[in-house]
Amino acid sequence: MRKSLHPVVMIALVAAVTLAGRALPTWTLSLATIAASNALIALGIVVLARTGNVSFGQGLFFAAGGYGVALIANAWGLTDAVAQVIVGALCGGLLGLVVGPLIARYSGIFFGMLTLALSMVFYGALVKSTALGGSDGFNVGRPSLFGMSFTDPREADYMLYAISVIVTGFAGIAATILFRSEFGLASLAVRENNLRVEYLGLSANRIISINFLIAAIFAGASGAFALMAQRHIDPQFAYWTTSGEFVFVAVLAGNQSVAAVFVASMALELVRSFSNLYLPNTWQLVLGVFLLGVILFLPRGIGSLWIRDRRKRRISTTAHLTVERGAAP
């Protein structure tokens, strides 16, 4: 895409952020865990958005990951945090494998609405299933790590923080490498003109399916993090407002920088939390004004604060992102 950070520098950045958690006040740790988990799923949306499709139903994979982990944890006592992330990613990925190829044939608003519809079907089924606690959901035990269990709340929070930052960080690095790869560039080409891509001998459907699968894996892992952080799952995971929030993060971040996704996600959590504390009656208004402000003053997202080159093939990106914003809730 452009001259940018070497992967080694990025790994160092991830390590630095992980260690910085040692110095953060306790309450920010779980907030940052949720922010990292939301960033991971929003990153998936950005990956998918490069093919020109926005999924309004990532809650489907988020919930699949969360419920998969929760059920396995309760049935077989699997509490290891790393194993739970892998299970979550697998659940999301498996579902993505089934749904992706079916849905890749559609594009634009049809794609968006179909993903939304599928997630709401899942939501409806979960609300009806009284064995899974219906709309109230159910609880799971706290996670452990490599056989160690953490009784000190701060240590437990730090463990989750570290894992979520590392996993999300590496996902971000992988996404950056992917964006620069041949496949990543072909994804961009699908968005510009999928007919021409087909004439070049590539299958646009396959490219969309693979990107969809990546987004689903990220969403499943993100569901596992959300579950570990709150130890409770309910059908709200699959509800459309949850999915909408992830698109919200992706819109805030813009698709220029992977790091922007993390910054946007953290900023959103902070604004939400503090507006809820100081303005309990109007916190939604504050969130809305925040989003409006970012759209008006940073139309290409928070990432445009530090990404400067916008001459090279950026015009089309802008045009496309504006379309996405128009559709975002």
Partner 1 sequence: MDRSWRTICAVLLASIATSSFTLAAPASAQETFKLGIVTFLSGPAADSFGVPARNGAQFVIDQLNKGAAPSPYEKVGFGGLKIEPVIIDENGGATKQVQELRNLYQRDSVDVVLGYISSGDCLAVAPIAEELKKMLVLMDCGTPRIFEEAKYNYVFRTAAHATMDNVGLVRYMKAKNVKMETLSAINQDYAWGQDSRADFVAAAQQLYPNVKVQTDLLPKFGAGQYGTEISALVGAGSDVVYSSLWGGDLQAFVLQSAPRGLPKRSQLVFSAADHVLPPLGDKMPDGTIIGARGAYGLMSQKSPLNDWLFKGYEAANGVYPVQAAYRIAQSILGLKAAAEKAMSKNGGRKPSTDEMVAAMTGLEWPSPGGLIQMKLADGHQAIQPIAISRTKYNPDLKRVDLVDIQYFAAECVNPPPGVKSIDWIKGGMQGAKCN
Phi–psi pair at 139, nearest 5 degrees: -105, 155
Q: How far is the CB of 236 from partner 1 (least distance, A)?
A: 5
- Output 213 or 247, the one with its CB closest to partner 1: 247
- Output 199 or 281, the one with its CB closest to partner 1: 281
- Output 137 or 184, the one with its CB closest to partner 1: 137
Q: How far is the CB of 160 from partner 1 (least distance, A)?
A: 12
Q: Among residues 63, 113, 77, which one has the least CA distance to residue 233?
A: 63
- Output 280 or 326, the one with its CB closest to partner 1: 280
- Output 7 or 299, the one with its CB closest to partner 1: 299
Q: How far is the CB of 27 from partner 1 (least distance, A)?
A: 4
Q: Among residues 317, 127, 89, which one has the least CA distance to residue 216?
A: 89
Residues that bind partner 1 (CB under 8 A): 25-27, 30-31, 34, 127-128, 130, 133-139, 142, 153, 156, 226, 229-232, 234, 236, 239, 241-242, 267, 269-274, 276-278, 280-281, 283-284, 297-299, 302, 304-305
- Output 189 or 233, the one with its CB closest to partner 1: 233
Largest distance between two CA atoms of the chain: 59
Q: How far is the CB of 140 from partner 1 (least distance, A)?
A: 9
**Number of CB atoms found within 10 A of residue 94's CB:** 17
Are residues 301 and 294 in contact, defined by beta-carbon separation less than 8 angstroms?
yes
Separation of alpha carbons 128 and 13, rounded Å? 45
Residue 8 vs residues 2, 31, 201: alpha-carbon distances, Å: 17, 27, 34
Q: Which amino acid is at 228?
A: M
Phi–psi pair at 187, nearest 5 degrees: -60, -45
Are residues 233 and 141 in contact, defined by beta-carbon separation less than 8 angstroms?
no
**Number of CB atoms found within 10 A of residue 147's CB:** 7
Q: How far is the CB of 190 from partner 1 (least distance, A)?
A: 28
- Output 214 or 259, the one with its CB closest to partner 1: 259
Q: How far is the CB of 98 from partner 1 (least distance, A)?
A: 26
What six digits make up the tokens of 40? 């991971």
Q: How far is the CB of 179 from partner 1 (least distance, A)?
A: 23
